[in-house]
Structure 1
Amino acid sequence: MSTHENPIQPSGSLLLAATPIGDIEDASPRLIRALAEAEVVAAEDTRRLLALASRLDVRINGKLVSLHDHNEAERAESVVDLAEGGARVLVVSDAGMPTVSDPGFRVVREAVRRGIRVSALPGPSAPITALAVSGLPSDRFAFEGFLPRKDGEARRYLHALASDPHTLIFFESAKRLNDTLVRMAEAFGGTRDAVVCRELTKTHEEIIRGDLNSLIATTAGEVLGEVTIVVAGFTGHGDALEYAEAVIALAQEGMRLKEAAVQVAQATGLRANDLFRAALRRKDEAQRGEDEETRENS
């Protein structure tokens, strides 16, 4: 148990604690104290937490319970019951701040509903770290987390964000990164600036800057590690040809080309007629390319 006379957390409260996203040395002294002093530790993965505690050379003296995406809905009330009963309850996820694309939101909401004190122990955060190093505007931003896994849903989600002026932050798996960048180029235009941040704070940290077209080319091969994507917000500038692929993509999902042009126009502020003509031009160019390839192979 900690030798401090005043525990870092008062009895009967909930404390959210950020854990390292890569480099173990990012663990704060307050996190180490909180792990030792908590009477209950709700962890996304108890085995990973015990491994972290071992590396930090700290002993977890309290009751250890699992709190993850698949059980939080049913376990939130019992976790808050422990705080309401007077326990110091610490909530941690595998990496970064709980509730930010991680478990913890339902527990916090239930604690707030009951009037239980909720506080946070700040620390590492992949979205904020990526935003800080991106070089993109950081005065207005939105964290979007992971995109829907189904292709059509992901495309529609991105098209809905095409005219959002905020800098946008996404999580993505390394395996899906290139496909996601392709969808983003279709929705936002290939010349939209973006940054891919891989393995933040780790030994092999890599930050790749450019527009979406160049990032697609750069990530065409094998990519490993944890990935965060930061995309510049819509500025109201650009020409119709940049968004022609977005119109065509919507049409390929079953929408009439003119209707697709209207939808992209609403998202980008461009004229629907210009987008419609640009999409026809792109389709004609693609058809001519296919015809030439057929002649060369015949």
Structure 2
Amino acid sequence: MRKGTLYLVGTPIGNLEDMTFRAIKTLKTVDLIAAEDTRHTGKLLHHYEIETPQISYHEHNRKQREQEIIESLQQGKIIALVTDAGMPAISDPGYDLVKACLAAKISVVPIPGVTAAITALAVSGLSTNRFVFEGFLPVKGKAREERLQAIKQETRTMILYESPHKLKATLQDLGEFLGIDRALMLGRELTKFYESFHYFTCEEAINYYTEKTPKGEYTLVVSGREESRELNLSSEEIKGELRQLLAQGIPRSQASRQLAKLTSLSRQEIYQLSMELE
């Protein structure tokens, strides 16, 4: 028996008119649609008069669904995988299904569509020659701190996703680890009715959302570190710089932040060195 095919179908990230002709045709002709949220996808299918049956495939049922989908594909079924918005497998459990299909030698075909990361990057005004997608940062703890410390050294433009209730904390952390003068672009509710783009430094973004409550989903595009600015200073040399700054009356926290912009150490690490001066 000939094996079936899994189609990865890109869907709109907001505006339904961003659906492609090829995506509509594919969803109409496959045997089954595996959707992140069948109710959400149902609205899209109704809009385009697509009557193909659906099953759910999401983070919480992916392990049990995966084998079911693989078996259907091995029996010759043609299945489309969609997410609530954008391309499947990008910050999405569809990645696991794709891996499983490839391991089972099942054909996987992409049907390209809109992706929030590239949409935001294109209008960011930041370098598009080299960039890296970070998705969502770890929520808290050591994992988050390690990731922030790692991207501090990143010289490529960075793209992140963030929810409204975590945006303020993320902006504060970016300012602390990357520097408050780091340039970034905040894309909000991309392609939707309330779409907006704000071009800030970290400090300006923090101040802006001190007065306003974040609403909607955000895509952040952050400039990379300037390669020529970092100094290779030893701990003793950094202590020497700290002594000079503190002698000028500059507060310990401000001095630590200032030197963190110029070295590979974080603000916390430099602050700890300043405590050793006493």
Tell me the TM-score normalised to structure 1 length: 0.77
- Separation in structure 1 between the aligned mates of residue 223 and residue 201 of structure 2, nearest angstrom: 9
Partner of 1:236: 227
Q: Greater CA deviation, 277-286 or 219-228?
A: 277-286
The answer to whether the 8 A contact 1:77-1:107 is kept is no
- Separation in structure 1 between the aligned mates of residue 148 and residue 254 of structure 2, nearest angstrom: 25
* Structure 1 portions without partners, runs of 5+: 1-9, 239-267, 287-298
AA matched with 2:217: E
Structure with more relative contact order (C-alpha pairs < 8 Å, separation 6 or more): 2
The answer to whether the 8 A contact 1:192-1:231 is kept is yes
AA matched with 2:79: V
SS state at 1:79 partner: helix
Q: What are the within-5 Å matches in structure 2 for residues 152-171 of structure 1? A: 152-171=142-161
- Residue 131 (structure 1) aligned with residue 121 (structure 2): yes
Number of aligned residue pairs: 246
* Structure 2 portions without partners, runs of 5+: 256-278
Q: 2:19 aligns with which of 27, 47, 58?
A: 27
- Residue 111 (structure 1) aligned with residue 101 (structure 2): yes
Partner of 1:182: 172
- Separation in structure 2 between the aligned mates of residue 284 and residue 113 of structure 1, nearest angstrom: 52
AA matched with 2:21: P
Deviations 1:237-286 (A, max 9, x none): 44xxxxxxxxxxxxxxxxxxxxxxxxxxxxx5552446554496432769
Partner of 2:43: 51
The answer to whether the 8 A contact 2:3-2:106 is kept is no
- Separation in structure 1 between the aligned mates of residue 102 and residue 39 of structure 2, nearest angstrom: 28
**Does the C-alpha gap of structure 1 residues 23 and 99 become closer, same or farther in structure 2, counting only changes over 3 Å?**
same
Tell me the TM-score normalised to structure 2 length: 0.82
AA matched with 1:271: L
The answer to whether the 8 A contact 1:21-1:96 is kept is yes
**Does the C-alpha gap of structure 1 residues 127 and 285 become closer, same or farther in structure 2, counting only changes over 3 Å?**
closer
- Residue 271 (structure 1) aligned with residue 261 (structure 2): no
Partner of 1:69: 59
Deviations 1:41-75 (A, max 9, x none): 11000111111111223222x4x211101111232
Q: What are the within-5 Å matches in structure 2 for residues 241-256 of structure 1? A: none
The answer to whether the 8 A contact 1:127-1:169 is kept is yes
AA matched with 1:66: S
Partner of 2:31: 39
Give the deviation of 1:30 after TM superposition: 1.4
SS state at 1:142 partner: strand
Partner of 2:251: 282
Give the deviation of 1:11 after TM superposition: 6.9
**Does the C-alpha gap of structure 1 residues 82 and 167 become closer, same or farther in structure 2, counting only changes over 3 Å?**
same
- Separation in structure 2 between the aligned mates of residue 141 and residue 208 of structure 1, nearest angstrom: 19
The answer to whether the 8 A contact 2:164-2:216 is kept is yes
- Separation in structure 2 between the aligned mates of residue 285 and residue 200 of structure 1, nearest angstrom: 36
**Does the C-alpha gap of structure 1 residues 285 and 84 become closer, same or farther in structure 2, counting only changes over 3 Å?**
closer
- Aligned Cα root-mean-square deviation (Å): 2.1
Partner of 2:269: none
AA matched with 2:92: D
Identity %: 35
**Does the C-alpha gap of structure 1 residues 140 and 212 become closer, same or farther in structure 2, counting only changes over 3 Å?**
same
